[in-house]
Structure 1
Amino acid sequence: MLYLKKILDFYINSSAHVSLSALALTAMTVQFYAISDSFHCLLFVFCSTLVGYNFVKYDALARIQQNKWRIELKFIVFLSLFAFLVCLYLFFQFHWYVQLFVVFPMFLTLLYTLPFFPNKGNARNWKGVKIYIVSFCWVLMTVFFPLVFGRITLDSSVFWLSIQRFILIFVLVLIFEIIDVTKDDPHLQTVPQMIGVEKTKKLGYLLLTILVLIDVLKPQIHWIALSFKILVSVTIALFLYYSKETKSRYYSSFWAEGIPVFWWLLFTLLKS
């Protein structure tokens, strides 16, 4: 049992789980717009997410908990390096306009991690900004990147999909912020720190309602898609309802973060 726990911890700590969630959301966009030959697109999203998340979190963590992370961190660095080489290879296989697009989320990741501006620190430590940057980057990579890759014309459906995707990621991040509300630096001004846990949950419920209403108010209602969105929104709402500071990290880092994978599998099952 201890051995299985170590495997699960490595799976989460190496960012493989969050990368699988990013792949799942991208795969849904691919399916929505029937994008062919999408393997390189999906592989790039998975590997770039793994590299980006590990780049953001492990430099400081390795210094703070050096003894605890010494062996595991070596494996994570090796995995991240391999994923980076895959990203580099795929990048040079893309058309120039896809390469140009990728530069923007890459810059946001660097801005999020490195202190570009004097006396400002990195964007991760800017007051109240973190949740918006994270949500926006996920929309760029899981909605717009596959569309640019597949040369799909951007229309109103893309706009509404990006709004719904932003809401989905935003509410999922709220779950993390509630669980970490007593651990996060008060200077960060996360949503629960600013308005309290209960109001944060109410905000999440409101956003999920808007997510569903977007499908309800469309000129033509697709009942299967609407039922699917309702089911996913209820699932996220339940996770949000039961989130609190005393929850274990598995609650957010494994179960809540795995919701997009559940969403993708359910969507694939309903579509088949």
Structure 2
Amino acid sequence: MLFLKRLFDFYLNSSIHVALSVYALVRMTGFLFQISAIETSAYFAFFGTIVGYNFVKYDALARTQKLQMRRQLKAIAIVSFLSFLACGFYFFQLAQKTKIIAVVFLILTLLYTLPFFPNKKNARNWAGIKIYIVALCWVGVTLFLPIINADIPLTIYVFLVALQRFILIFVLILIFEIIDLKLDDPHLKTVPQQIGVKRTKWVGSLLLVGFLSLEFLYAHFNSQTLILKSGVALTVFLFLLFANQKESKYYSSFWAESIPILWWVLLLLFQ
């Protein structure tokens, strides 16, 4: 039983689970926009997420030598290195213009982690900006990257989908920020730090209403799709409603982060 727990923790700590969520959203993009050749973008996003998230999580600690290379961390380093090779392989299979977009989000990731300017902190520590960078990267990698790679025009429909996805990711991050409220540096000025947990939940709830309201702006409105997204929104709302600082790490890092995977599976089952 202890072995299974360690294996599960490794699955979470090595960012494989969050990478599956990103992969699910890319495949959802392929489904929504009927992109048959979606595999390259999906695998690039999957392996790139492992590399990017592990770099963000462990780089600062490693550079300050506060991180001891225990057995699990060595295994995470190996997974990250193999993912880096796989990410590079799929990167060179992307269209030229898609590579440029991918580099832009790579720069955002580096900016999020490394201090580029003298006497300045990295973007992760810029007050209040973290949540927007993360949500923007998710939307860019899971939506715009595969669409541009498939040479699909950037229509109003694309931007409506992008806005909906941004809202969903934003609210999911609010759940993380509530759970991590005691651990986050006060200078980060996360949403719960600035307005409190109760108001954060109100903001998230109103955003979810906006998430559903955008559905009525689609030219090809579909009641079945609305029901599906309502189920997803309700699930996110419940996770947001019951989020608190006493919840275990699995509440956000596994269950809440599984929602994009659930959304993709439901889309495949009912569409």
Query: What TM-score, normalized to structure 1?
Result: 0.96
Equivalents in 1 of 2:142, 2:95: separation in Å?
A: 18
Aligned positions of 1:23-42 closer than 5 A: 23-42=23-42
What residue is the counterpart of 1:243 in the other structure? Answer: 243
What residue is the counterpart of 1:225 in the other structure? Answer: 225
Specify the code of the residue in structure 2 equivalent to 1:161.
V
* Equivalent position to 1:64, from 63, 66, 84: 66
User: 1:128-162, CA deviations, whole angstroms, 9 ceiling, x for partnerless residues?
Assistant: 00000000000100110010111111100001000
Deviates more, 1:81-90 or 1:164-173: 81-90
What residue is the counterpart of 2:120 in the other structure? Answer: 120
8 Å CA contact 1:120–1:126 kept in 2: the answer is no
What residue is the counterpart of 1:83 in the other structure? Answer: 83
Aligned positions of 1:168-187 closer than 5 A: 168-187=168-187
Equivalents in 1 of 2:13, 2:149: separation in Å?
A: 29
What residue is the counterpart of 2:74 in the other structure? Answer: 74
Equivalents in 1 of 2:219, 2:38: separation in Å?
A: 30
What residue is the counterpart of 2:46 in the other structure? Answer: 46
Equivalents in 1 of 2:46, 2:23: separation in Å?
A: 5
Equivalents in 2 of 1:219, 1:164: separation in Å?
A: 15
What residue is the counterpart of 2:98 in the other structure? Answer: 98
Secondary structure of the 1:128 match is: coil
Flag as ranges the 4+ runs of structure 1 deviating above 6 A.
none
Equivalents in 1 of 2:237, 2:5: separation in Å?
A: 28
8 Å CA contact 1:204–1:240 kept in 2: the answer is yes
State the shift of 1:59 in Å.
Answer: 2.4
Aligned positions of 1:162-201 closer than 5 A: 162-201=162-201
State the shift of 1:36 in Å.
Answer: 1.3
8 Å CA contact 2:41–2:94 kept in 1: the answer is no
2:21 aligned with 1:21, yes or no?
yes
Deviates more, 1:136-145 or 1:92-101: 92-101
2:156 aligned with 1:151, yes or no?
no
The count of residues paired between Structure 1 and Structure 2 equals: 269
Equivalents in 2 of 1:219, 1:16: separation in Å?
A: 36
User: Which stretches in structure 1 are left out of the alignment for 5+ residues?
Assistant: none
Specify the code of the residue in structure 1 equivalent to 2:190.
T
Secondary structure of the 1:258 match is: helix
State the shift of 1:119 in Å.
Answer: 1.8
State the shift of 1:90 in Å.
Answer: 1.6
User: Which stretches in structure 2 are left out of the alignment for 5+ residues?
Assistant: none
User: 1:167-197, CA deviations, whole angstroms, 9 ceiling, x for partnerless residues?
Assistant: 0000000000001111100000000000000
8 Å CA contact 2:191–2:200 kept in 1: the answer is yes
Equivalents in 2 of 1:219, 1:145: separation in Å?
A: 23
State the shift of 1:219 in Å.
Answer: 4.5
Equivalents in 2 of 1:182, 1:154: separation in Å?
A: 41
What residue is the counterpart of 1:131 in the other structure? Answer: 131
Equivalents in 1 of 2:143, 2:84: separation in Å?
A: 21
Query: What TM-score, normalized to structure 2?
Result: 0.97
